[in-house]
């Protein structure tokens, strides 16, 4: 069976059909997520934290992203697969092109994800002009945690919210095919989702995005320490991994997740 395409995801947005996304890092979970009906897998650089036990995503390398992406690809047949370009692997357009090409050619990813606003717009233009599909990532940028000083909600003040909206529009104009919005007020995420024609996937961004993504280990309650407020322990709720994954897909599709308590 062939994998879902970007076209399929665009049609889902147009039909207002919610897109269920989860992170994955290995073949076994990739298979389980496919069985549960997940639409899109994100091989996130969150693997630095949940697989490697690092304090942030900063130490993750391109080699590691290729290794995990290839494992995820081997585990499933029909989901659309996005892979993160890790910290400083896209500091300039040339580097971004080379590393994105490796994630696609060696890892098998269908799209790459980059963190940042207008500052990465030229790089997004260069990538998409060469046929590399791009997912931009706005709001809380985990690769910038040392500059941000922690993992906080972004865009609460109107000036910052306006800047995020302008960044989102600029990235779509630059050719981005998808946007992840992390930890922003639900009202701002709704505005951005309505203004963009590309699918907008939220994490801690409210129920009105075109789809939702969570870190797999967070939604299974496996991540040590405090779970982010916007996540939910679906394993505790259902009692088995497969039931937890299916409940997530069903609650995203029916806009039950995220609830008001799980948004800002
Ligand atoms: O790396 C990751 O898992 C991500 C999600 C938090 C969206 O970027």
Burial level of 249, CB count in 10 A (0-12/13-18/19+)?
A: buried
pLDDT of 1: 55
Domains and CATH numbers, the chain: 6-262 (3.20.20.60)
Q: Are strands 40-43 and 80-84 parallel, antiparallel or unpaired?
A: parallel
Per-residue pLDDT of the chain (264 residues; tens, 9 = 90+): 589 999 999 999 999 999 999 999 999 999 999 999 999 999 999 999 999 999 999 999 999 999 999 999 999 999 999 999 999 999 999 999 999 999 999 999 999 999 999 999 999 999 999 999 999 999 999 999 999 999 999 999 999 999 999 999 999 999 999 999 999 999 999 999 999 999 999 999 999 999 999 999 999 999 988 889 999 999 999 999 999 999 999 999 999 999 999 999
How far apart CA 161 and CA 15 sit, in angstroms, is: 27
Q: What is the three-class DSSP state of 48? A: helix
Predicted confidence (pLDDT) per residue in 55-95, tens digit: 999 999 999 999 999 999 999 999 999 999 999 999 999 99
**Minimal-distance CA residue to ligand 1 atom 4:** 44
What is the number of the ligand 1 atom nearest to the C-alpha of 46? 1
**Minimal-distance CA residue to ligand 1 atom 8:** 44
User: Which residues are the active-site residues?
Assistant: 182
Predicted confidence (pLDDT) per residue in 85-131, tens digit: 999 999 999 999 999 999 999 999 999 999 999 999 999 999 999 99
Backbone φ, ψ for residue 180 (5° rounding): -100, 130
Respond yes or no on whether the N-terminal peptide bond of residue 258 is cis (omega within 30° of 0). yes
CB 177 within 8 A of CB 111: yes
How far apart CA 239 and CA 257 sit, in angstroms, is: 18
Q: Which residues are annotated as a binding site for 3-methyl-2-oxobutanoate?
A: 45-46, 84, 113
Question: Does residue 141's CB lie within 6 angstroms of at least one atom of ligand 1?
Answer: no
What is the number of the ligand 1 atom nearest to the C-alpha of 44? 1
Q: Could you give the angle at which helices 121-129 and 158-174 cross, rounded to 10 degrees?
A: 20
E strand or H helix at 84: strand 80-84
Q: Which residues are annotated as a binding site?
A: 45-46, 84, 113, 115
């Amino acid at each position: 069976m062939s994998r879902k395409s970007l076209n399929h995801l665009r049609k889902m947005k147009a039909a207002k059909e919610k897109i269920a996304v989860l992170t994955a890092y290995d073949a076994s979970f990739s298979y389980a997520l496919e069985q549960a009906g997940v639409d899109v897998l994100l091989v996130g650089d969150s693997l630095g934290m949940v697989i490697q036990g690092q304090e942030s995503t900063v130490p993750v390398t391109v080699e590691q992203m290729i290794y995990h992406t290839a494992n995820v690809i081997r585990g499933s047949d029909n989901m659309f697969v996005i892979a993160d370009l890790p910290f400083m692997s896209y500091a300039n357009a040339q580097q971004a092109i080379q590393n994105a090409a490796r994630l696609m050619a060696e890892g098998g990813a269908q799209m790459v994800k980059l963190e940042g606003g207008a500052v990465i717009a030229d790089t997004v233009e260069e990538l998409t002009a060469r046929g590399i599909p791009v997912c931009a990532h706005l709001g809380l940028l985990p690769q910038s945690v040392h500059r941000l000083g922690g993992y906080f909600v972004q865009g609460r003040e109107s000036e910052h919210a306006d800047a995020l909206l302008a960044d989102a529009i600029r990235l779509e104009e630059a050719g981005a095919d998808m946007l992840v919005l992390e930890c922003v007020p639900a009202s701002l995420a709704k505005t951005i989702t309505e203004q963009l024609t590309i699918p907008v996937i939220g994490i801690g961004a409210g129920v009105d995005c075109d789809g939702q993504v969570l870190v797999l280990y967070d939604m299974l309650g496996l991540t040590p320490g405090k779970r982010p407020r916007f996540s939910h322990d679906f394993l505790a709720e259902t009692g088995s991994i497969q039931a937890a994954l299916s409940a997530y897909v069903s609650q995203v599709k029916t806009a039950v997740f995220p609830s008001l308590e799980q948004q800002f």
